[in-house]
Amino acid sequence: MAPLRPDVAVGRWRSRTDPGQDLRPPWSDGGGGDAGGIDPHRTRGPQGSARQAGELSATLRIGVLALQGDVREHHAALSAIGVESVSVRRPAELASVDGIIIPGGESTTMSRLLVLLDLLDPLRAALADGLPAYGSCAGMIMLATNILDTRPDAHHLDALDITVRRNAFGRQVASFETDLELDGVAGGPMRAVFIRAPWVEATGDDVEVLGVVPDGPAQGRIVAVRQGVVMATSFHPEVTGDRRVHEYFVEMARSAR
């Protein structure tokens, strides 16, 4: 487990493979590396490879909730694997997508903007109707059914039967990166970046744990989960250049069609 470099602590991540990606809240779109693929022998969940994901997603459109957070990085990750993406800020845009990504950012701000833009109820309804979704960091918080240490007036999407703790690893200066394995994702450990991240305190019976912190003070804490066609990670795969989590989600969304 390693601390983040100083440039991350002030809001900017410079990865080994994709330097200079900006994590400051964007309102505009943006957009890689291939570090492996999805396990073709997995009996539960997505199957395939990076190449297959690009081939099979020719008519697949993934939305990125574009209210606040690292929207551009998710667009760039999807573009790198050949997947069409669209920013979602309105119900009409939501209706046009085959899956949606809830990005990292600030969950309380996202909650308020969902209400302000009349998107909260349509998004909840779409998720309840089976829209595939992936949430990273704040996106995990938004998708959860139960959130600890949150404001009483905050809204969430009730799509994952998990209890999450906000800022569980500590403040910004306690952010860190480590290598961890994800169940069903081939190619060896991936570099995981945790920035004021949540962790999962408890899961429902139908929730599959995909990954945990491998060592350090938070060893064993749950940081990646899946329930049906909804998945979430505490960390930010969109900032590292490793596209395997996005490939996993794309294949999951394609298989759900």
Tell me the C-alpha distance between 65 and 178, whole Å.
Answer: 27
Domain-located, residue 73: yes
Across residues 119-145, what is the average pLDDT? 97
Q: Which amino acid is at 238?
A: E
129 touches 182 (CB < 8 A): no
Q: Element (H or E) spanning 256, and its range?
A: helix 244-256
Across residues 57-69, what is the average pLDDT? 88
Does 180 have pLDDT greater than 70? Answer: yes
The distance in angstroms from the start CA to the end CA of the chain is 38
CATH number at residue 99: 3.40.50.880
Domain-located, residue 82: yes
User: Read out DSSP for 80-102?
Assistant: HTT-EEEEE-SHHHHTT-SEEEE
pLDDT band of residue 132 (cuts 50, 70, 90) is very high
Greater model confidence, 139 or 173:
139
Tell me the C-alpha distance between 248 and 256, whole Å.
Answer: 12
Q: Which two tokens stand for residue 30?
A: 């943006």
Domain-located, residue 27: no
Where in the sequence numbering do the catalytic residues fall? 137, 236, 238
Neighbours of 92 (CB within 10 A): 9
Q: Which residue in 157, 177, 149 sits closest to 1, CA to CA?
A: 177
Mean pLDDT, the chain, as a whole number?
Answer: 81
Domain-located, residue 223: yes
Domain-located, residue 118: yes
pLDDT value of position 257: 87
Q: What 3-state class would DSSP assign to 179?
A: strand
Does 170 have pLDDT greater than 80? Answer: no
Tell me the C-alpha distance between 166 and 39, whole Å.
Answer: 31
150 touches 166 (CB < 8 A): yes
pLDDT band of residue 39 (cuts 50, 70, 90) is very low
Instruction: Compute the C-alpha angle 256/122/76, nearest 5°.
Output: 60
pLDDT band of residue 239 (cuts 50, 70, 90) is very high
pLDDT 10s digits, 44-61: 333 334 444 445 455 899
Tell me the C-alpha distance between 252 and 86, whole Å.
Answer: 18
Q: Which two tokens stand for residue 125?
A: 């309804």
Quote the strand ranges of 81-175, DSSP E.
84-88, 99-102, 133-136, 144-148, 160-165
pLDDT value of position 166: 87
Q: Whole domain around residue 203: which residue ranges? A: 2-6+33-256
Domain-located, residue 25: no
Instruction: Look up the pTM and report it.
Output: 0.79
Does 17 have pLDDT greater than 70? Answer: no
pLDDT value of position 2: 58
Q: Which amino acid is at 34?
A: D
Number of structural domains in the chain: 1
Domain-located, residue 23: no
Tell me the C-alpha distance between 239 and 47, whole Å.
Answer: 23
Domain-located, residue 12: no
